[in-house]
Amino acid sequence: MKDVTNKYETLREAVAEARMSLDSEAIDLLKRRATDKGDALECARVAGVMAAKNSPSIIPFCHPLPITYANVEYEFESPGLAIRARVKTIAVTGVEMEALTAASVAALTLYDMLKPHTENIEIQSIRLLEKSGGKSDFKAVLDPPIKAAVFVLSDTIAAGKKEDRAGKAAMEFLQSPNVGEQHYEILPDEPDLLRERIGWAKEHGFDLILAVGGTGLSARDKTVEALREMIDREIPGISEASRAYGQRRTPYAMLSRGIAGMSGGSLIVALPGSTKGARQSCEALFPAIFHVFHVMRGGRHKGGYGS
């Protein structure tokens, strides 16, 4: 199976359609709900819902998901029937296969219940009509791309006694068409120096500033205090998203004192100094965080907020 451990949960939805060609006798039997085996439409609806919930049992690489909604609807269209299955979940991967399976099994159930009455039955097509909620839905396209700076805060790394891995992990998430010029710098845990370098980054037009390290509880961890003085508008949801993602993976995430917000036209985000903490925080935030700059440039939220 594909490893989806590091993906974040979103509301996922998919609609699939199966089309059947039926003669007038079959259509009449369906409308009157009068096949020899009973109400074919309702039986097929139940079969489709059960199929959606059991897709991983018959499709080997399909991930088991908590299905929060599944239904099958019908529309009679000459010369036959359109079967549409809609499935929803809140999970790390989509429900396209569940919707396709539901539509397929509903069509097969109708075939089974109609075949004693007529041979003029054909399942013509099964296709995905729509899907939503995947990572592609949250990918902003920024033109021109933003400028991003990463400042690593660590006395040990600044003294050359240890190699930086957390900052480099954060840099990996900036390798995107949405990011142009990048700056990377290692600093000791000195709040005044951090404020000075962030001021430099703002003056040079850096849109995104990541401060990696100094978010813990040791005496030298002063990154959050330094950034709080510079942030004009705090965005609590960014740190909340990062911590919520981390807490699903380790209880130690509760010890991180992240902060994020706007300082003038720049977005400043504090990330943990551990490699795993920085990487997991970035997994939670990217690529959705690019939407901040889409909105700042006058863009709208997809599916709402005036769109």
Give pLDDT tens digits for 30-49.
999 999 999 999 999 999 99
Active site residue: 3, 36, 39, 112, which one? 112
Distance CA 294, CA 251 (A): 33
- pLDDT tens digits, 85-127: 999 999 999 999 999 999 999 999 999 999 999 999 999 999 9
Arithmetic mean of pLDDT over the chain: 94
Is 3 one of the catalytic residues? Answer: no
Q: 303 falls in which pLDDT band (50, 70, 90)?
A: low
* Cβ partners under 8 Å of residue 212, min gap 6: 150, 151, 152, 153, 166, 167, 170, 270, 271, 272, 273, 278
- pLDDT tens digits, 247-260: 999 998 888 899 99
Residue of 33, 100, 30 lying closest to 72 (CA atoms): 100
Order of all β-strands in the sheet with 121-132:
67-77, 80-91, 10-22, 121-132
DSSP character string of 148-191: EEEEEE-HHHHTTSS---HHHHHHHTT-STTEEEEEEEEE-S-H
Distance from the first to the final alpha carbon of the chain: 37
pTM: 0.81
The residue whose two tokens read 């489709």 is 48
- Residue 73's alpha-carbon distances to 27, 162, 218, in angstroms, are 15, 61, 59
Q: Which domains does the chain have, with CATH numbers?
A: 10-136 (3.30.70.640), 139-296 (3.40.980.10)
